[in-house]
Amino acid sequence: MNRRNFLQSSAALAGTMALPFPLRAGQDKVSLAILGTGWWGTDMLLPRVLASSLFEVVALCDVNSLALARAAKAVTDAGARAPRLFADYRDMYRMPGLEAVIIATPTHWHALQFIDACKAGLHVFLEKPICYDIREGQAMLEAHKAAGNVVQVDFPRVMADTNDQVRAFIQSGGAGKIRQVQANIHSPEGGLTEKPVPATLDYERYCGPAPRVPYRCDANGTTPQWRQQHAFSRGIFADWGIHYLHNIRQVMGLDLPEQVSAIGGIVSNTTQDQPDHLDVRFSYGGLPVYWSHKSWGYTAPNPDHNIGVYYYGEQATIFAGDLGWEVFPAGGKAKITHGSIVFDPMNPANTPVYEKMLLDMFAEFAAGVRARSNTGITNTLADAYRTTAAVIYADMAYRTQAGLAIEAATMNVKGNLQAQAMLQRAYRAPYVHPFAP
């Protein structure tokens, strides 16, 4: 299954101080809003929110009225009370009694919506990557610190036990010293077509702080394909591959890369402005971590390894997928398999496992909200920022065609003025970038 089929299936708030969090008043369910009712928000997150029985979905917000109506129907069809509907998230954030929000909008909106949620005293379940540029992430960390709110970032794969098993095997010495790590996704991507903006979409508000680029979608559809447009996203690595870099960081205990270099380009998918092939090299304390993707139809010699992570050790090579891992011992010994390493989320046998990943994250989030504590949150904002920053630096290295040296304390790029200027993207008026040096 290619990623495209997978995807197709199924002005700031007043004041600068955080408002008090709403009192629980004995309620059992968390009062929750969903901001962004596209495919992921409506078809993936909303059903699991409702299935958890931990939340009451009291509000929905989107600038696409058709998507908003579809999500509202999904709530009532599930037997829940009809939520209030909003086109402006700032109005929704003022809703009395609202406790938490899921931010499932395109990446370029995350920073402003997250910071405003912090100012409104809301707990946040946030989509990855957490921000579009490096400075946005720093501003978000400051807002989170000031608010003291609970934040869970949507990295569901770490909720499975694959990472734990691989980490334990590596720490046991079973693979010997790990000398290199490589993640890859090789999966076809379709092209984009410029079309008139649908009457149901407020495209001006959709673009928000990003440049107002021509409206592009699938040739046979009308839904905006923002992941393939650099104005809104940073490509396959930032959108999909970020999960596997996050896995690597968890398994190997990595912080920020010290150096990043990248090479790639567009050889097939000329209707988009993201690279359709990209190779990145990170240096984490001397450990080389590589990323590779090809989105024009390449198939690996072992197709089962098209999507996942290799850990290259002196005594064995490990390949880890979402739901399983394989060990290839040195000396020609037989392969050892644990679970299934094939990426096949729509397989009925696998669907419950992926659903449980999301349900477990929502259970952590609800428990955190009730306790008003981030203790027990697996994917914290600070840790998710480290992963997000790495993929942003990778895109910057690709676009500047230069290696980057990172200063962890400031997140600056050393000795590269062109890359340094990319740490903060200029916002489109009247939006104001939230970073304050």
Residue labelled with tokens 């334990």: 168
Residue 107, φ and ψ in degrees, nearest 5: -55, -35
**pLDDT digit string, tens, across residues 143-162:** 999 999 999 999 999 999 99
Q: DSSP 3-state assignment of 296?
A: coil
CA distances from 362 to 50, 122, 154, 239, 315 (A): 10, 15, 9, 21, 39
pLDDT at 305 over 70: yes
| pTM greater than the 0.85 cutoff | yes
According to the model, what pLDDT value does residue 219 have?
Answer: 86
According to the model, what pLDDT value does residue 27 have?
Answer: 56
According to the model, what pLDDT value does residue 16 have?
Answer: 27
According to the model, what pLDDT value does residue 21 have?
Answer: 39
According to the model, what pLDDT value does residue 190 have?
Answer: 87
Mean pLDDT, rounded, of the chain = 93
Q: How far apart are CA 245 and CA 121, in angstroms?
A: 31
Residues 346/211, Cβ–Cβ less than 8 Å: no
pLDDT at 2 over 70: no
According to the model, what pLDDT value does residue 4 have?
Answer: 42
Q: Which helix (H) or strand (E) holds 123?
A: strand 123-126
According to the model, what pLDDT value does residue 221 have?
Answer: 83
**pLDDT digit string, tens, across residues 47-88:** 999 999 999 999 999 999 999 999 999 999 999 999 999 999
pLDDT at 118 over 50: yes
% pLDDT > 90, the chain: 89
**pLDDT digit string, tens, across residues 328-383:** 999 989 999 999 999 999 899 999 999 999 999 999 999 999 999 999 999 999 99
Q: How far apart are CA 97 and CA 24, in angstroms?
A: 9
| Closest C-alpha to 125, from 322, 388, 353, 364 | 364
334-347 b/e with 16+ CB inside 10 Å = b?
eeeebbbbbbbeee
End-to-end CA distance of the chain: 45
- Tokens describing residue 215: 């409206």
CA dihedral 223, 229, 234, 236 (to 10 degrees): 60
% pLDDT > 70, the chain: 94
According to the model, what pLDDT value does residue 437 have?
Answer: 84
Q: How far apart are CA 323 and CA 310, in angstroms?
A: 14
